[in-house]
């Protein structure tokens, strides 16, 4: 027996102008408040700026990584998430602009290696000076953004060309860009994490550091995109086309990234613990005292064990309201993980003294701009790749 399935028009974009304006207003107000912090304490201002920037650039790059993974694997899950992720990719030029204050002014307040006097007297920093210097920091940042924006632009343009022409050859373009772009992304993000995060403590090093950030980007972006899709599925075309099976698949991917994040994070700890070298152990000693131990335990419990246990449930992954809350929790905990990673290296051993109102103001300020741009991008194109050759098989006839 055959069933007629009513398929809504997937080619029309959704109007998100109102929430985009609200996000922009919230971001502008928060930015005005945040700028007051520069007059209060410029160093704390740039520290908060760096953590907020890291959180939102992770969302942009996580979207880029997920799109490339989907094009390389050809997974059906990518049909529902691709256009939403492409909207996140298109925030990268804005993030490049937002990095300029950090590259030009914040670098001298954030990184001890940027002080010539310290570089001249500290043996370790002096030894690393060929890499850790202001000019190199700035030049490499330009290279990173050129690579990321370039790869993202090629993928988005190919997507638009597919919408306009329905050319099946576009799939080969996707695969080629994703193959090369994925390699460049992995190496460039590894070095960016070293430059922007690990060098806050120039004496410390870890070969797992960049990998942890990369997995965290995929986890955070997956949670944010899933959160967005569930909200948008209250209306057509996603009300019909974002099926329970597709949501279930994305929930399983979020579980997989949660497990992978825990694996690489524990691997770094195990390597440092086993080696027990004086150059490495201060990283975890600092995060095990002064109040940081409570955040450490909280992240283990809430950023791994809770999502892990909850997402094992088939019911949770197939219930929109429940999965929405899990995705929201993961997004919030991504910022707390970044705070745990960066703040002790910048603000010392006391967590109580490390918390500042500027941290919240910064993440809302940059977040308001990011969400406004994200929603604007999402409004400018169809929510689904309706002319992809695999569209009907993956979306329209899924579950029938």
What pLDDT digit, counting tens, does each position of 370-383 carry?
A: 999 999 999 998 88
pLDDT of 400 strictly over 50: no
Q: CA-to-CA distance for 90 and 67, rounded, in angstroms?
A: 12
Give the pLDDT of residue 2.
45
Average pLDDT value over all residues in the chain: 91
Whether omega before 237 lies within 30 degrees of 0, making that bond cis, reads yes
Confidence of residue 170 (pLDDT cuts 50, 70, 90): confident
Q: How confident is the model at residue 61 (pLDDT cuts 50, 70, 90)?
A: very high
Average pLDDT for 289-305: 94
For the cut 90, the answer to whether the pLDDT of residue 308 exceeds it is yes
**How many Å apart are CA 168 and CA 145, to the nearest integer?**
30
- pTM for the predicted model, two decimal places: 0.94
- Helix then strand count (H, E) for the chain reads 20, 0
Residue 200 CA to residue 91 CA, distance in Å, equals 26
pLDDT for residue 4 is more than 60: no
Tell me what pLDDT residue 243 has: 87
Would you tell me the crossing angle of helices 134-165 and 92-101 to the nearest 10 degrees? 160
Residue from 177, 157, 159, 165 nearest 82 by CA: 159
Condensed to tens digits (0 to 9), the pLDDT of residues 136-167 reads 999 999 999 999 999 999 999 988 888 777 77
* 176-203 residues labelled b (16+ CB within 10 A) or e (exposed): ebbeebbebbeebbbebbbbbbbbbbbb
- Region 111-116: mean pLDDT is 93
């Amino acid at each position: 027996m055959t069933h007629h399935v009513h398929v809504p028009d997937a080619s029309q974009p959704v109007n998100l102008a109102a929430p985009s304006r609200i996000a922009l207003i919230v971001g502008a107000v928060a930015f005005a408040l945040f700028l007051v912090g520069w007059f209060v304490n410029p160093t704390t201002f740039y520290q908060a700026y760096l953590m907020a920037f890291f959180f939102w650039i992770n969302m942009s790059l996580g979207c880029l990584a997920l799109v490339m993974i989907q094009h390389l694997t050809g997974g059906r899950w990518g049909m529902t998430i691709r256009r939403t992720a492409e909207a996140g990719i298109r925030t990268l030029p804005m993030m490049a602009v937002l990095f300029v204050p950090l590259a030009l002014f914040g670098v001298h307040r954030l990184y001890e290696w940027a002080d010539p006097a310290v570089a001249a007297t500290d043996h370790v920093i002096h030894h690393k000076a060929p890499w850790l210097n202001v000019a190199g920091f700035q030049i490499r940042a330009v290279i990173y953004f050129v690579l990321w924006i370039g790869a993202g632009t090629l993928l988005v343009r190919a997507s638009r060309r597919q919408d306009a022409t329905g050319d099946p050859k576009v799939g080969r373009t996707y695969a080629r860009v994703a193959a090369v772009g994925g390699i460049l992304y992995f190496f460039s993000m590894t070095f960016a994490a070293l430059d922007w995060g690990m060098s806050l403590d120039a004496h410390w090093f870890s070969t797992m550091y960049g990998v942890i950030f990369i997995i965290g980007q995929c986890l955070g972006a997956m949670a944010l995109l899933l959160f967005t899709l569930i909200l948008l599925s209250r209306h057509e075309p996603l009300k019909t086309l974002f099926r329970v099976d597709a949501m279930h698949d994305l929930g399983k991917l979020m579980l997989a990234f949660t497990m992978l994040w825990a694996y690489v994070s524990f691997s770094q700890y195990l390597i440092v613990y086993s080696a027990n070298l004086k150059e490495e152990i201060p990283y975890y000693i600092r995060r095990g005292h002064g109040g940081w131990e409570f955040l450490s335990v909280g992240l283990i419990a809430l950023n791994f064990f809770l999502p892990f246990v909850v997402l094992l449930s088939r019911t949770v992954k197939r219930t929109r309201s429940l999965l929405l809350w899990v995705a929201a929790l993961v997004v919030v905990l991504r910022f707390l993980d970044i705070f745990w990673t960066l703040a002790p290296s910048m603000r010392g051993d006391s967590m109580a003294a490390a918390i500042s109102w500027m941290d919240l103001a910064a993440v809302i300020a940059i977040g308001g701009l990011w969400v406004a741009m994200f929603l604007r991008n999402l409004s400018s194109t169809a929510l689904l790749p309706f002319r992809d050759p695999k569209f009907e098989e993956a979306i329209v006839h899924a579950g029938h």
